[in-house]
Amino acid sequence: MPHRKKNRRPLLLLCIAAALVISMLCAVKYGVDSSKLRKESGELRLRVAELSSQLAETAQRLQETEAQAQGDPEDDGGQSDPDEAGSGGEEHTPEGGEDAPGVPVSNPTEGMEHPEYQELYPDFYAETDFSAGWNDQDNVAYLTFDDGPTERTPEVLDILAQKGVKATFFVVGTTLKSDFGKKMLQRIVDEGHTVAMHSMTHKYNVIYSSVEAFLDDFNQEYELIYEIAGVHPTLFRFPGGSINTYNKSIYKELISEMLRRGFLYYDWNVSGEDAAGAKTAQAVASNVISQSEKRSRCVVLLHDGEDKTATVAALPGMIDSLTAQGKQILPLDESVKPIVYGYRD
C-alpha cells in the first residue's frame, strides 16, 4: 500500500499541473477570443450605424424626388387644361440631371396608340400662340353674343360702336350662308370684334353624337368663316356649354381633341339668362349686373338670336353699369385665360 501510495503522488501533482496548464491555456484562449469577439462586435455595430445613415440619406433623397415629381404640375401657376393639352410649352421641362423625373422624351407619343379621329381634317388646327402666357387681368368683362348673326346683330353692333366697346360673337355657320349673314360676319370683323365658332348647325343631337360628328361640323364652320371673312377663328363655344346633357358621355374627348388642335373654348360665369327665363330688358340687365358685381373677371353670356330684342334693349344700360363697376369691356382673344366649367368625374 505505502509503495503504491508513494508512486501516486507525482502523478497527482502532474495531473494538477496539467489541469492548471490546460485551464491557463483555456483562459488565455477564451480571453483572446472574447476580446476579439468584442472587437468584431464593435466593428459590426459601426458598420450597421453607417448603413443606417446611408439608408436614411437614400430615403430622404427618394422623398425629395417624389415631392418634386408631385410638385411639377403645380409649377404651371394654375394654368389649366388648354396649356397642358395645347402648347406643351418649354416651362414644363424640369431642370435637373438627366435622371430628373418628368423629362420628356424626344417624342412622347411615338409608338403610342391614338384615336383615329386625330387623323381627320388635317387643316383643322388653330395657330394659337401661347408663348406670352395667360392674361387673367382683374376688373374686366367680356361680352359674348351667341347664335347670330341675325337681324339683331346690326343693332348690337351699332350699340357697341356708340359705346366704343368690342365684344365676341360666337356665330352659327348656317346663319352665315345668306348674303345678310356674310355681310354681318364681315362687319363684325371689320369693326374689330372677335369672331368665334359656335358650330355649323347648332343641332345638339347631331354634333354631340360622336367626336367625329363634332369635328365634321366645326371643321365646316371653320372653313366657311375663312371663305367669307378671311380669318381663321381660334376660339369656340360649345352649344349648351362644354358639359351638357347631350355630350356627357364624350365631353372629355371633345375638349381634349379640340385643345389638342389648338382651339380654346370659353364657357361663362355671368349670364343674361336671355335664352331661358329673362324676357324683358330689365330682367336681362339685372341678371348681368347682379352676377358681375360678385366677380372680377366676367365672361358674360348673351344672345343675338332673332327674338332677343330684350337683350338689345338691355345692352346700353348694361355696358354703363359694368363700366360703373370699374370693369374694362374687352373682346376675347387667345391670350385670355379661359373661364370654363369644372368637372371631377
Alpha helices (H) along 191-338: 204-207, 211-229, 251-260, 281-293, 309-324
Q: Which of residues 6-25 bind Zn ion (CB under 5 A)?
A: none
For residue 143, what is the enclosing H or E element? strand 140-146
Q: Which stretch, 45-53, 239-247, 291-299, 335-343, contacts Zn ion (CB under 5 A)?
A: 239-247
C-alpha cell at 255: 375638349
Q: Which is nearer to Zn ion, 85 or 275 (CB)?
A: 275
Indicate the residue among 86 and 148 with the shorter CB distance to Zn ion.
148
CB-based contacts of 155: which residues, under 8 Å, 6+ apart? 312
Pick between residue 202 and residue 295 the one whose CB is nearest to Zn ion.
202
What the block records as the C-alpha cell of 140 is 374686366
Residue nearest Zn ion, Cβ-based: 146
Segment near Zn ion (CB under 5 A); pick from 65-73, 99-107, 130-138, 142-150 = 142-150
142, 332 in Cβ contact below 8 A?
Answer: yes
CB of residue 343 to Zn ion, shortest distance in Å: 20
Q: Does 272 bind Zn ion (CB under 5 A)?
A: no
**Position 239 contacts Zn ion (CB under 5 A):** yes
Choice between 154 and 240, CB closer to Zn ion: 240
Give, in degrees to the nearest 5, the angle at Cα 161 between 157 and 162. Answer: 120
Does residue 146 interact with Zn ion by CB under 5 A?
A: yes
Dist. CA 272–CA 298, nearest whole Å: 12
Report the nearest approach of Zn ion to the CB of residue 225 (Å).
16
Kindly tell me which of 124 and 170 has the beta carbon lying closer to Zn ion. Answer: 170
Question: Which residues are catalytically annotated?
Answer: 146, 303
Please measure the distance between the N-terminal and C-terminal CA atoms of the chain and give it in whole angstroms: 110
Least distance (Å) between residue 69 CB and Zn ion: 42
Q: Which of 83, 124, 145, 147 binds Zn ion (CB under 5 A)?
A: 147
Buried residues in 192-219 as b, exposed as e (16+ CB within 10 A)? ebbbbbbbbebebebbbeebebbbbbbb
Q: Given the rule CB under 5 A, which residues bind Zn ion?
A: 146-147, 239
